[in-house]
Amino acid sequence: MMGGSVVIVLIFLINGVFRGAGNAAIAMRSLWIANICNIIFCPLFINGLGPIPAFGLTGAAIATTLGRGIGVLYQLYNLAGGKGALKIRISYLIPDWAQIRPLLKIATPAIFQFVIASCSWIFLAQLVATTGGDHGSAGYQTALRLMMFFMLPAWGLSNAASTLVGQNLGAKQIRRAEQSVVQTAIYSICFMSLVMVITFAFGKIFISFFTNDPLISAIAVKAIYIMSLGYVFYGIGMVLVNAFNGAGDTWTPTWINFFGFWLFQIPLAYFLAKYLEMGATGVFIAVPVAETAICIAGYIFFRRGKWKTIKV
């Protein structure tokens, strides 16, 4: 997987390019191709077939890297073909430091956004493991994977908000940029509300697909019920964060994440799990509470409008 890191970086980087250019369809198709190839390759390289030896777990890594590699080739084909607004040339590969400096200025805070959020989730996973044991950890990870799956469309909507904000601000259509964020947030609210209802109605059934262990299942169901209470706020928060990023205001969501995750979510989870002796349940509660606070903070900064004045 580490050997294929370049492919992983490229598939998300180039997809960001296509979305920024307003061609999200190619970005979607490249991911479809990468994942379909991964699904096909996995049983072939894990179990082996004909001349292909069985690699076991290593085969899963090979399949994932090959699938993403094919997705990148599809992206490069569309870039080289120049059928859309983007036309890449060999001369473009020469480093342009005048462009690289502002790119780094924008990208550096965005990197910290992911580092902050990832470190927070790692700490929560460790806290669940120490207070809930193996069953608690397995149940939490199961619920988390299910939650992330349901949030994928909201993630897509938030990417659309980023593209719309960037393009409208570039066209000096500030009012339209703001309206696009509000409209996208409304769509996200509607979708995530529906997802929350579905989760409460069929949560136990969904969990049963992942485990037959009654202890793990009970913890996973409790986790998904508690964490799904914040679905609406997750969706709104994602739209606002990507709106800031699309405007080039990458420092605002970075500071929001820092205070929301490290100075609020982690201490709250530790307090509930350890001092109030709520164990893994305390960690589950901390997730929607912190995400709600982050959403509220994002809305306040969005209304202040500093993001409208950022020059890229």
Which pLDDT does position 83 carry in this prediction?
Answer: 63
* Paired tokens of 16: 């960001």
> DSSP per residue over 259-298, as a string?
IIIIIIIHHHHHIIIIIS--THHHHHHHHHHHHHHHHHHH
**Phi and psi dihedrals of 57, rounded to 5?**
-60, -35
The list of the chain residues with pLDDT below 50 reads: none
Which pLDDT does position 239 carry in this prediction?
Answer: 94
The CA distances from residue 85 to 82, 253, 285, in Å, are: 7, 30, 46
pTM, whole model, 2 decimals?
0.79
Whether 110 and 250 have beta carbons less than 8 Å apart is answered as yes
Task: Check residue 207 and report its DSSP letter.
Answer: H
The torsion of the CA quartet 188, 189, 194, 196, rounded to 10 degrees, works out to 110
Q: One-letter amino acid identity for 95? A: P
The ranges assigned to domains in the chain are: 5-93, 97-309
Which pLDDT does position 163 carry in this prediction?
Answer: 84
Which pLDDT does position 274 carry in this prediction?
Answer: 92
Q: Can you tell me the distance from the alpha carbon of 123 to that of 274, in angstroms, rounded to the nearest whole number?
A: 14
Which pLDDT does position 85 carry in this prediction?
Answer: 67
Which pLDDT does position 12 carry in this prediction?
Answer: 86
Q: One-letter amino acid identity for 154? A: A
